Structures are given as structure tokens and as C-alpha cells.
Amino acid sequence: DTAVSQTPKYLVTQMGNDKSIKCEQNLGHDTMYWYKQDSKKFLKIMFSYNNKELIINETVPNRFSPKSPDKAHLNLHINSLELGDSAVYFCASSQRVSKDIQYFGAGTRLSVL
Amino acid sequence: LAKTTQPISMDSYEGQEVNITCSHNNIATNDYITWYQQFPSQGPRFIIQGYKTKVTNEVASLFIPADRKSSTLSLPRVSLSDTAVYYCLVTKNFGNEKLTFGTGTRLTIIP
């Protein structure tokens, strides 16, 4: 079983569309994250949830809205997609935060045309 | 959070030992040093974590001098499958502070 799974793996869409990426972890972790990795391979955190509560919210446009229906799921909804949103988005989870090992999903490659 | 500095890239031949050094001059007392590995088209994967001296697991060793201002990830007898980007992070022992991934070191193993 995949510990952290995210869907879809690839997402190609037009500018202005709204799309969602789903993430689920079966590790029993309390904390989940969304990261963005751009074309230059910089990996930057976007959001972090602990037990469904938002605890880290980096400077991300309001068009990005995370939703955590329960502590095993953290979905990312993106409104009005722009060209600059093209990147690979990674979901991760950890037992708590900071020092604890983070387990990453395989990533969702988003291409906005 | 302590900033880390590591070489942008390294090349090595198969079968050699590879050492990647990371500088973290502003590391705090409660900070740990954690290394992740990322293969192309995959998410980062935890390799090893340490606080001081030496830590060894089945994949790598981590050497941390007494002043803890740097650390060295050692990969014994590398193979082509070790080609990846290696990230050095400083992580707090508590709290909600975010992880900051730097540029990482792109390690290329040559046959």
C-alpha cells in the first residue's frame, strides 16, 4: 500500500480553469503538507495542516485553497489557473511537525496551457 | 531557521564513497540535521537524521562535528541508482516551523 498517495499524477488544463488535487495518507499521521516544486526544482512549502487545522500558510495566492476533511486527507483546490501555476505539487505527511520525518507522495505534475 | 549551504552538483564513479558536506553556521541548540534524497519524478525521501557525532543506517552515515556548524552525508560504494538530488535540512525538535529545502546537491554517478 502506498503511504501517501495523490491524484491525479498528471494534470493538463487551460488557463482560467479550476482544478483539484487529492491527497491521502494511511500512516496515521497528524500533519499533512502541500509543497510546490517549480521548473528550477526549488521545493517550497505552501500549507500545513495538523489534525485538520491550518498551521502553516505561506505566501500563496488566494486562488489556492487547501481543504482537510479529516486528518488522513488534504486536498488542494486551485481557482482560475495561471501559467505560473505549472509545477509539480507534492503532498507529504509527518507524525507531528518540524523534526519528524516527512513522507512524500509521488507528485502531481500540473501543466497550465 | 538555520540556512544551509551545500554544493550544487557532484559527480562520482560507481563503487566510490561519496561525501556531501552541508554548512549550517546558525544552527540552534534544539535543531537536528536531516537529509532527504529525491529521484527524478519522485517525491523526496528521508535518508538520515542526526544531532551530533555520527549516525549510521543501512543507507548512509552522517558525520556531525562538535560545533555542529556543518555535517557530512557519506554514501558508501555508490551505484548508478544513487543518482539523485540530496537535500540537507535543519529541523527543529519541536514546534510548527516549516521545513526549508535549499537547492540541494545534484549527485551524478558515472559508470
Q: By residue range, what is the domain housing residue A14?
A: 4-112
CA distances from A3 to A19, A24, B51, B74 (A): 24, 8, 27, 27
What pLDDT was estimated at residue A40?
Answer: 79
Buried b (16+ CB within 10 A) or exposed e, B57-89: eeebbbbbeeebebbbbbbeebeeebbbbbbbb
State the total domains in chain B: 1
**What's the pLDDT tens digit per position in A52-84?**
888 878 778 899 999 999 999 999 999 999 999
State the total domains in chain A: 1
For residue B2, is it within any domain?
A: no
For residue B17, is it within any domain?
A: yes
- Cβ–Cβ contact B35 with A under 8 A: no
For residue B63, is it within any domain?
A: yes
For residue B1, is it within any domain?
A: no
**Which CATH number belongs to the domain containing residue B36 in this structure?**
2.60.40.10
Among B27, B20, B17, B16, CA closest to B67: B27
**What's the pLDDT tens digit per position in A4-34?**
999 999 999 999 999 999 999 999 999 999 9
- Cβ–Cβ contact A45 with B under 8 A: yes
For residue B28, is it within any domain?
A: yes
**Which CATH number belongs to the domain containing residue A62 in this structure?**
2.60.40.10
Q: Per-residue pLDDT tens, chain B, 111 aa: give them.
A: 568 999 999 999 999 999 999 999 989 888 899 999 999 889 999 999 999 999 999 999 999 999 999 999 999 999 999 999 999 998 876 666 677 788 899 999 999
Query: A38, A59, A98, A110: which to substitute to probe chain B, counting the most B Cβ within 10 Å?
Result: A98
The nearest CA of chain A is from the CA of B46 a distance in Å of 7
Measured distance CA(B55)–CA(B4) in Å, rounded: 19
